[in-house]
Amino acid sequence: MSFKITNSWNPKGDISGASSQSIVSNSKKLREKWTEFQGIKNWEGLLDPLDDALRDEILRYGEFVEAAYRSFDFDTSSPGYATCRYPNVSVMTQCQLGKTGYKVTKNLHATCGVQLPTWTECRIPRWASTRSSWIGYVAVCNDKDEISRLGRRDVVIAFRGTATSMEWLENLRATLTRLPTDMTPEHDSDTMVQSGFWSLYTSSMGHRPSLQDSIRNEISKILQKYADEPLSITVTGHSLGAALATLTAHDITTTFKHSPLVTVVSFGGPRVGNKNFRSQLEKSGTKVLRIVNSDDPITKVPGFVLDDNNAQVSLSWMQKMVEDTQWVYAEIGKELRLSSKDCPHLSNGGVATCHDLKTYLHLVDNFVSSNCPLRATAKRVLNRDQEQKKQLLCGQSLGSLRV
């Protein structure tokens, strides 16, 4: 569900050329209304048209995800394959995020729960059977100026997408499995999530703890250390990382009774769970913003979604029978829907292009609204309107002269 990112995203919109006045204005808006940008009101009135300050925040979190890709050692011939290429203290600097004010406090590893037969040990290369791999990090904002700009101290948990063979095996385990009752506040035994994602989140190996245990321990320390400060936890990821981000956020809100606002910003994420899982997310206060490219097939898998209107008119026993197949998923969170077809140089791209994180960041950077998808289009519309106004004014002036 992911493809290797070889180059840093290069913004092609107008953000880089924004005036200092607009930057100051957005910073003030962010500081005063940061809870709204984190989804406290479910991003009402901020997505269509896309608010410029929210756009900046989405792109900023996208860069944290890209840092997870750039830090991962993809080289299968390297002794450090599937590990982080940099020590904690230099991850942000190496990924050109040194000025963000964030510092990595914890490396995160995901372990595949699939056990390969013993006869495969001498028949497949070591890299193909790597079960545990570095998948992301926890970073905390420690810069006073950045904390002031954000309006709170922000904690980021960032995940990359699928990279190893064993992670692909987990992706293919697409049937639903039940969450343990300690992660369902109402002890709902029908709350279910994708089997492979759950396995990657909860499996451990030897002395390496599960991703779930690592996150719980780190968040516990952070909540104790910054208990007296305004705090936010933002979990972000691309593809497989988006799915793990959703599970992580739900785990935090259900594990820590007095957790701060927990927000998911996901890019190109697959479906994660059923409608009961969606209901539990909403009740726990977890906020999910899904960035979706409508031309990206990964966002349409696994399983299928029952249309609620059709389900209401169908026989209840038939609906129950279909849901028992463990293939019925539900879309979750608030959606920002984009399309590669709206961008001329991306419209002919294949699956890899549509799913690429850089494509998502480019689309976000250029999106205006559902009626005017791209900034370039907006400029043309604006120029056309201005020209029409000039012609109208000119006509009025000529008319007055004739009179």
Half-sphere exposure of 306 (CA within 13 A, CB side): 23
Is residue 210 flagged as an active site residue?
A: no
State the angle between helix axes of 211-225 and 195-202 in degrees (0 to 180), rounded to the nearest 10. Answer: 60
285 within domain boundaries: yes
Looking at 56, 154, 296, 356, which residue is catalytic? 296
- Contact criterion met (CB below 8 Å) for 139 and 160: no
- Beta strand residue intervals within 146-286, DSSP E: 153-159, 176-178, 192-194, 231-238, 261-267
Q: Token pair of 165, please?
A: 């063979």
134 within domain boundaries: yes
At 133-149, the pLDDT tens digits run 999 999 999 999 999 99
Is residue 362 flagged as an active site residue?
A: no
CATH number at residue 303: 3.40.50.1820
276 within domain boundaries: yes
Which domain does 40 fall in, by range? 15-371
Helices marked H in 226-293 — which ranges?
240-255, 275-284
Q: Residue 182's pLDDT is what?
A: 80
> Taking all residues of the chain, what is their mean pLDDT, rounded to a whole number?
86
382 within domain boundaries: no
Q: Residue 308's pLDDT is what?
A: 56
Label residue 401 by pLDDT band (50, 70, 90). very low
Looking at 109, 238, 250, 355, which residue is catalytic? 355
Give the residue-averaged pLDDT of 352-377: 88
166 within domain boundaries: yes
396 within domain boundaries: no
Q: Residue 381's pLDDT is what?
A: 46
Q: Residue 120's pLDDT is what?
A: 72
Q: Residue 311's pLDDT is what?
A: 47
At 85-100, the pLDDT tens digits run 999 999 999 999 999 9
Looking at 199, 210, 239, 339, which residue is catalytic? 239
Which amino acid belongs to residue 63?
Answer: E
Q: Which sign does the torsion angle of CA 69, 71, 75, 80 carry?
A: negative
Q: Would you say residue 66 has pLDDT above 50?
A: yes
9 within domain boundaries: no
Q: Token pair of 179, please?
A: 């969450």
Label residue 307 by pLDDT band (50, 70, 90). low
Number of domains observed in the structure of the chain: 1
Is residue 71 flagged as an active site residue?
A: no
> Tokens 């506040």 sit at which residue?
185
247 within domain boundaries: yes
Q: What is the pTM of this model?
A: 0.87
Q: Would you say residue 384 has pLDDT above 90?
A: no
Q: Would you say residue 125 has pLDDT above 90?
A: no
Determine how β-strand 231-238 pairs with β-strand 261-267: parallel
Q: Residue 348's pLDDT is what?
A: 77
Q: Would you say residue 402 has pLDDT above 50?
A: no
Helices marked H in 38-159 — which ranges?
52-71, 91-94, 144-150
At 158-187, the pLDDT tens digits run 999 999 999 999 999 999 999 988 887 666
The beta-carbon contacts of 48-51 under 8 Å, at least 24 apart in sequence, are 48/369, 48/370, 49/368, 49/369, 49/372, 50/336, 50/364, 50/367, 50/368, 50/369
- Contact criterion met (CB below 8 Å) for 166 and 129: yes
